[in-house]
Amino acid sequence: MGNGTISQDSTSVPYFIGELNTKSKQIEQIEHIEQETKKTTTSKNKRRQQAIERQKEKNAKNKANKIEIMEDKGEIQQLVEKMIITKKLLKWRRRSEIFAPSIRLTSRVQKISCGWDHTIVLTVSGQAYGWGSNSKGQLGIGNGIGNVFIQKNETIVSMPTRIQIDDQDIAIIGVSTGRAHSLLLRGDGSVYGCGDNKYNQLGLNTKNINNNEQTTMLEMVTTPGRIEWTSSQTVIEICCGWQFSAARTHSGQVFTWGDNRKGQCGHMIKLLKTIPHPVAVNFGCHNSTSSIVRIACGWSHMLALDKSGAIFSWGRSDMGQLGIGESMLPQQDGIAVFKITMPNAHKRENKIVQISCGSEHSMAVTSGGDLYSWGWGEHGNLGHGTTTNQMVPTRVTKFGAESGCYVKDIRSGGASVFARVSRTVEK
């Protein structure tokens, strides 16, 4: 019985040990697998983290590149714009070389006059140069100059070209431009005109205005023609309006000619709609004994300043450009010329010393540095902070003793004004 028991135990023990060994191997295998899986997971996590880091670096680099690109965009744009401009300049240069050889002015410019679409400058040496539109001959250079070309049926002069007058020994001392005509004043007091002559604004028709004799009138003049006067006069100032002209003589008289449909020549509209040659303006109705010292022309109105500081006006007044108020109508009671009533005119510092006309507005400067304006104000050109018209002279509060900014010089454009100022007043 004992052997049988032992035998059975012997048989069972090995079986148990074998089973145990098998389970141990399985456990080892499982642990090995877990370790390998852990290694694999760790490796994957590491690779994933590395990938994430690489992506972060890539994103950061792209962001930096994007920032650099954005920063360089302005410079690139500027380079592109420069290339475009250079290309245009080269194209224009080639065009200029064909049509307009470069002209260097022989001396400094002392005066500039701008018409509707042309410009004339006067140098200190007494030479005049013009450029812009020459469709009506307003540059006075004729039709044979090399820098002339046609653009959209318009004759264009692209470079400053000297305006030739027969006698070159006499210097030009004054220039003025209108819509499409120009005046030149020489040192001997003679006046020359060129350009559009539809309304006799060149004054080249010497027929007496009271003579019914028919004469031939040139529609336009392409080279400067000398204006003949009915009496001996020495002109010292010239001025062009839209389609009329004016001149001031050494004796203080004012002569006008050209379009007078709005009374801009200072003569009665009912009698004369156009003035074929220079005719003196009559100031006698105002008992003016002082000579005129300055004149200024707008599109269709005019101002004159006498030695005493009084301002006279005539022409169109629907926007208040004559400064006579709404109660007075131009040409009433046979009056063509009006005297403007200035505020505080009795004060010494309010004496008017300078006048200027824009297209349909007027300006005046006092000896005390104040500025007055009136007329058309649609574009703020009167300087009052509004866009309304002013029928009478109104002070521009920006200038004067209150601001310590005094006007020394004034120039008016079509709908703009330029003032030269100082912090002191000349005594």
Is there a single domain that holds both residue 311 and residue 203? Answer: no
| Burial state string for 187-223 with b = 16 or more CB within 10 A and e = fewer than 16 | eebbbbbbbbbbbbbbbbbeeeeeeeeeeeeeebbbb
Question: Does 34 map to a domain?
Answer: no
Q: Which residues pair with 400 in a beta bridge?
A: 405
Supply the pTM of this predicted model: 0.72
Task: Name the residue among 198, 200, 190, 172 with its Cα closest to residue 113.
Answer: 172
Q: Does residue 363 carry a pLDDT above 50? A: yes
Domains of the chain: total: 2
Looking up residue 148, the CATH number of its domain turns out to be 2.130.10.30
Mean pLDDT of 303-322: 94
Does residue 74 sit in helix, strand or coil?
Answer: helix
Quick check: 123 and 129 in contact, CB under 8 A?
yes
Boundary of a domain, candidates 277, 308, 334: 277
What pLDDT does residue 331 have? Answer: 52
285: left (phi over 0), alpha (psi -120 to 50) or beta: alpha
Mean pLDDT of 193-216: 71
Share of the chain above pLDDT 70, in %: 70
Question: Does 262 map to a domain?
Answer: yes
Q: What share of the chain is helix, strand, coil (3-state, %, to 5)?
A: 25, 30, 45
If one compares 13 and 367, the residue with the highest pLDDT of the two is 367
If one compares 329 and 122, the residue with the highest pLDDT of the two is 122
DSSP string, 201-251: TT------TT--------SEEEEEEEPP-SS---EEEEEE-SSEEEEEETT
Is there a single domain that holds both residue 218 and residue 286? Answer: no
Is there a single domain that holds both residue 265 and residue 286? Answer: no
Average pLDDT, the chain: 81
What pLDDT does residue 102 have? Answer: 46
Mean pLDDT of 293-304: 97
Q: Does residue 104 carry a pLDDT above 90? A: no
In angstroms, the CA 199 to CA 180 distance is 11
Mean pLDDT of 192-217: 72
Question: Does 36 map to a domain?
Answer: no
Range of the domain at 303: 282-427
Is there a single domain that holds both residue 270 and residue 288? Answer: no
Q: Does residue 151 carry a pLDDT above 50? A: yes
Question: Does 351 map to a domain?
Answer: yes
Quick check: 45 and 38 in contact, CB under 8 A?
no
